[in-house]
Structure formats: C-alpha cells, structure tokens
Chains A and B, each alone.
Chain A
Amino acid sequence: MKNQLTILFLFISVVSFGKTITVGKGKQFATVKQAISHASAGDTVLIDAGVYQEGQLVLEKRLVLKGVNSPVLDGEKKYEILTIKANGAVVEGMVFRNSGRSSYLDIAAVRIADSRYVTVKNNRFETTFFGIYSQHATACIILGNKLSSDAKDEINSANGIHCWKSDSMRIEGNEITGHRDGIYFEFVTNSFIKNNYSYENVRYGIHFMFSNNDSYVNNTFKNNGAGVAVMYSNHIHMQQNVFADNWGSAAYGILLKDISDGSITGNTFQNNSVAVMMEGSSRLQIEKNKFTGNGWAMKIQANCMDNIITQNNFISNSFDVATNGELVLSHFEKNYWDKYEGYDLNRNGIGDVPYRPVSLYAMITERNPASMMLYRSFMATLIDKIEKVVPVLTPVDLKDETPLMKPVKL
C-alpha cells in the first residue's frame, strides 16, 4: 500500500510539467510571496540565495519550491514560516531559520496540513520551534533534512519532526538535534522511519504515542534524554537501530510503555544507563540485539507478559536484567550472557545449567540506589554468588534454560 502510493506519487510528479519561475535579486520576482501568487499548479519556483523575511507563507498550490544555493527564509522569531496546504507540493534545498515560538501555539518552520504526497527534502532548519509539523497528512516524504535547535528544557522546546494524525509517512535520512523529541508520532499509522540520526535532544530521539503499525529501521540515537519512547502503541517494529550513550537517571535506549505485538530486532545498545525499559509491554519479540556496556541491559517491570527474548548478546553490562516483582512472565531462551559461568559437557553450544540474569545485587540497588556504591565489592560479589547457588530473593522463574556458550554472530 505504502509503496504503491509512493510510485503513484513519483509518476504524477514526473508527468506534470510546468513553467519555471525565479525569485531573487534581479530575477522575475523579488519575493517568494509574489512568485507563489503568480504561479499556477505544476510550476517550479526557483529561489535564489539570499535572506527572505516575508512573515508567513502559505502554499495552496501544487508547486515545487526549490532553493538554489541555500536561500534563507527567516521567520524573525515571530512567524510560522511556511504552511503547506496542497497535495503533491515539494519543498527542497531551503534554509528555514528563526521560526516563531509560543507556549500555547504549535508554531512550526514548515507545516504540512491536510495534504497528501508532500515532499520536504534536503532543507536545513536552524533554531526553529517545531521543525516540520504534519497534521492530517498522508503519504508525505520527509527526506534528508538537517534540523537543529537550541532546546534547553522540555517546556520551552518543541519537536524536530512532529506528526499528528498522519498516515503512510516516510521519514528518511534526517539529522535532528537540539529539539525536545527528535521525531514525534501521535496517532500516526503505517509509517516508516529510516536512516535518521537523532542526537542530543532534550527528551527522546523518537517518541511514539498512540501510533500503530509503524517501523523504524537503521536509525542512530545518541545522547538523548532517552533514545526512543514507545507508548500506548502496538505493532511497532524496531530494527537495526543504534542506541548509544543515553545516560541519566531516567535515560533509556528504548522506553516501552503499554505497547504490544511489536518487535525489537538486530539493534545495538551501547553504554546506555538502561538499554531497554519495559512497562506493561506484551507479546514483543526481542531478538538478535547486542547489549554492551549498559548499566542495565533490560528492566522488565512485573506488569509485562509474553515477551520472547532470544538470541541476544549480553556483554559487559553492569546488570543484565532487573525487575521489580517476583513474577516474570516473559520468556528467555538461547541468549548469550557473558556472565554465565556454567559448562557445556555435551558440547552442543548450549550451557547445561540455566542462567539467572537477575542478580541479587541488581535487586538490592533497585531498593536502595545508594548501595550501587558498594557494587563489585567483595561483599557484593559474595552475596551474588551465594544467591546464584541458592536463589532466595531473585525471581525463580526468570532464567534462560538454554544459555549459549558463544556469542550469537550478528
């Protein structure tokens, strides 16, 4: 469905020829506004280098707005710079700078409203409030944009790419930093997020709310408040992403809250305080991921169930798994745990005794965070060793019956 729409859209843009209008010093028009009002659907508006301060532009025709040598549209910190209300419009090669800000209005640099097949590609966004905002949009492409802002806290900042009640969106190859959430999805379905680099955003790299049937692949999330938060959503597929250096007391690689039926496959989690935090999550397939150097590879709250965690590599994490209850209804099998100390007498590559990934000391620090300072002391090691031999306090059912002796090749 999604791919068919894309092809259809490409077909339309190729067959519809129009005339070309130029904007700039000594060109046909001095302002973009004039050019747009004189153009008719299907035309291409070429905007020459320069700084254009024209308040709010509204695009209601199917035009191609194309920047030549990065012209700047300046919102003077007052205006929403460009509002697109036309199916099939294209905005390309522009610099959007200094959009307006507001604590009660969602002011964006570029807004796609109630439109289909809009393309926003290869633009730069500098110190904008919302970067690209789509509402009731369908099958739009947001490609290769660079968005950077100066967000300091969650209250006075907005999201880089914000999609609301949209469908079949394709968000690819963007670089987003300095916003509240890098990418924000609310009531967005059937969308695809790929090859983006989201870093140093105040809150999340990507944030899903009430969005279903989306996937994100091959993105990198570094140093955000948390890498990705998926909340109240289902059928979200997360593949081949890199989550790194998300450090802090509420910092996660992925935060899952009340979600179901998704998958987390082939991702790399490196040096996060908590790589995967699961709350009220069910029926997730967590497979072939690499967890290295994290504080906690997984925190699974007791309200999670029927998740399958298999073929993952857990290497050099401070703690592999932590949980807050005694009952764990998720299933672990065939993972590689570098802390496993069992043996493999029949040489089939699978350890002969089960591995219990929850250490007692993980539970102790869960109850009393300051005791982290005694971690790796002789006493802490003794406590853990004794508990491993005779489990008393750690959940009895939480174990990998078939731990691998060697890491999974990924």
Chain B
Amino acid sequence: MKTIIKYVMLDLLRNRIVLGYTFVLLIISFGVFNMDANTTKGVLSLMNIALIFVPLVSIIFSTIYVYNSSEFIELLVAQPLKRKTLWMSIYTGLAFSLSLAFLAGVGLPVLLYSFSVTGLMLIISGLFQTVIFAGIALLAAVKTRDKSKGIGVAVLLWFLFTLIYDAIVMLVLFQFSDYPMEKPMIALTMFNPVDLSRILMLLKLDISALMGYTGAVFLDFFGSTNGILFSIAALLLWTIAPVWASLKYFQKKDL
C-alpha cells in the first residue's frame, strides 16, 4: 500500500493545483490576520474558509482527480494488487496531501497568530472537512461514470451540505416553532458534517450567546465531554462511511 500511496502523492505533488491551493490559503490566512489586530475576527473569517471553501475545493479536486486517474487505476487493477489497496491508497494520498495543504495554508498562520483552543478547534474542523469531503468525492466519482456529471454531483453535494441542508432545517424550525426543538436539532446536526464542525466552533466563539438562549438541552449535550466525544465520533463516522461505501462499490466495479 505504501508504494501506491507514494505514487499517488508524487502525482499530486507534481500537480500544481494542490500547491496553488496551499498558496491561496496562505494568502487568505495572513491577509485576514494582518488586516485586523483582532484575532478572534480572523479566526471567524477562517472558519468560513474552513467550513465553506475547504469542502468545496476538497470535493471538486478529489472528484476530478479520481476521473483523471482512470488510466492509472486501469493500469493497476490488472496488476497483482488488491482493489482495496489501490482505492485506499488513492484516498489516503488525496486526503493526506489536501490536509497538508490546509495545515500549511491555515494551520500554520493560526498557530502563529491565534494559538488558542478556538484556533485548534478551527484546525481540527478544517482537517475533518478536508478528509470527509475527499471521501464524499470518491463516492460521487465511483458511482457516476460520466466525468462532467460526476463533477456536477460533487458541486450539488457541496451545496447540499453547506447551504441547502441548513435552509431546510431553518424551515423545519419555523414550521415547528411551537415545539421544543433542541433535541431534534441535535439529531439533525449529526447528519451534516459541516454543521457538526460549525457547532463545535460555535461552542467556543459564541458560548456567551448560547448560554443565553437555547441553553439547557443544547449546551448540556455539546458542552459536556460526552457530547464533544459523541460529535467527534460522528465526524469520524462521516470520514469513514463515504469512503467505505465507495470502496464497496469500487470493488465490484467493471473497468
């Protein structure tokens, strides 16, 4: 497996997009921190980067990469290799290099300018988004044979998780505003990795406001160690599940 990861990584390093992505993140991060002395504000801006921009780049780049690797995949499936090894190597290579890009582009500036629990939470959130959306991309790419259609599906999925899902939740909230919605909200949050990360960030950034409002149920859950562990477990599940599903599909796929 190491050998294949090596070749995937080599290929990705040669790919200027990952380098460009790192560079763009670096410029944004340093720009954000240098523009304002208020580092909390910087972290807030980077939170939008980590929860919106990072998933977008991660899912689209990974989808395209899988399609562009079709030659590589075809060449290697005829070799004495487990398909699982091949597929997991591609995922590992992708997730690792994109994570590296995020760590260099956002992690480094955050550690330099705003080393705090909130900063660390931001880095962890961004890393989770990177690996989760790379996994979702693999699933989208393996299920759709046509490249342009696959990229379309990836963009739609990104839209779903970053925007549409929340809009639907909002509608539900207002439809059922006469009922206690905290518990269902916690459940709904689990179905969206972006929301999960966002709420973990919210607990750091807006604890004062959260204490004031939805209070008890919500905070009791996310504020407790168990709640945090549960959320992290949910994020891990979000990391594993799409990759696992894509692997199952890839193992039976005709090439």
Contacts and interface: CB of A to CB of B under 8 A. Distances in A.
A375 B209 CA distance: 10
Interface string B195-230: 100110110011111111111101000000000000
B51 interface: yes
A376 B47 contact: yes
Nearest to B212: A273
B3 interface: no
A273 B209 contact: yes
Nearest to A271: B208
Contacts, number: 109
B17 interface: no
A380 B47 CA distance: 14
A247 B211 contact: yes
Interface stretch (B24-32, B141-149, B164-172): B164-172
A295 B205 contact: no
Size band of the interface chain B makes with A: 35 or more
Interface stretch (A38-46, A143-151, A186-194, A312-320): A312-320
B81 interface: no
A365 B215 CA distance: 13
B79 interface: no
Interface stretch (A133-141, A281-289, A366-374): A366-374
B51 A318 contact: no
B202 A249 contact: no
Main secondary structure, interface of B, reads helix
Contacts of B44: 376
A372 B203 CA distance: 11
Interface string B17-40: 000000000000000000010101
Nearest to B36: A338
Contact of B169 (A249, A272, A338, A374): A374
A381 interface: yes
A368 B38 contact: no
Contact of B38 (A272, A316, A377, A380): A316
| Interface core residue of A248, A367, A376 (most chain B CB under 10 Å) | A376
Given A249-B212, A296-B212, 17 more contacts: A247-B212, A249-B216, A273-B208, A273-B211, A274-B212, A318-B205, A369-B213, A370-B182, A370-B185, A370-B214, A372-B209, A372-B214, A373-B185, A373-B189, A376-B198, A377-B198, A378-B52
Interface of B: 36, 38, 40-41, 44, 47-48, 51-52, 162-163, 166-167, 169-170, 173-174, 177, 181-182, 185, 189, 194-195, 198-199, 201-202, 205-216, 218
User: Considering the complex of A and B, which 3 residue pairs feature the smallest CB-CB distances, nearest first?
Assistant: A295-B209, A273-B212, A318-B209
